[in-house]
Amino acid sequence: MAEHRTVPELMEENDVVDLLIRQHALIRDMFDEVEKASGTERGEAFQRLVRMLAVHETAEEEIVHPYARRKLEGGDAVVDDRLAEEHEAKKLLMEMDKAGPEDSRFMTNLAVLRASVLAHARSEERYEFTQLRARTSETERRAMAAGLKAAEAMAPTHPHPGVESATKNLLIGTPVAMMDRVRDAIRNAMGKDG
């Protein structure tokens, strides 16, 4: 039961807002996993977090923010603020990925990244998702959820070590390379040209 709730492909939610909020909780758990891990496990836990963030933030950028721009009261300002936050987090994520988990500043950077990513997630829930839910139909949110699920299918993520070996991850390389692949998958799934 508990397993099913944390494996994205098995998530029952068909509403994009429910899915994104569930992912926010998952991201928080994954930060815990990186903090608790040591040695090679730390690097593996960090890679799982990087994949999850690549899937999550790219899906928001491709699917949710453009919709929010059009549908929300003051949508442009709300989305521009969220994109600025995402940009900050991504910069640090890329630095950390390059320096690796053995870097002496890794844990300090991880704490900064965690604070920034989680504050960003709270702002999305408060300023973007609440309005989005109120201003879209169930059918619209279901269609957006389909795009998100296509992205998730590329990178099965699980907060507990040892499980991912059973599934083949399509996301490897730098965070930027991962985001590019996720973007392509979403555009294909949503029937848009690259």
Contact residues toward Fe ion (CB under 5 A) are: 57, 60, 121, 124
**Choice between 124 and 152, CB closer to Fe ion:** 124
The whole-angstrom separation of Cα 138 and Cα 48 is: 31
**Choice between 41 and 81, CB closer to Fe ion:** 81
Closest-by-Cβ residue to Fe ion is 60
Q: Which two tokens stand for residue 35?
A: 């903090």
| Residue type, position 4, single letter | H
In angstroms, give the least distance from the CB of 83 to Fe ion.
8
**Choice between 7 and 118, CB closer to Fe ion:** 118
Cβ–Cβ < 8 Å for 129, 141: no
In angstroms, give the least distance from the CB of 104 to Fe ion.
29
Give which of 34, 8, 27 is closest to 161, Cα–Cα: 34
Dihedral angle sign, alpha carbons of residues 112, 118, 123, 124:
positive
In angstroms, give the least distance from the CB of 23 to Fe ion.
7
In angstroms, give the least distance from the CB of 20 to Fe ion.
6
**Choice between 44 and 57, CB closer to Fe ion:** 57
Cβ–Cβ < 8 Å for 41, 161: yes
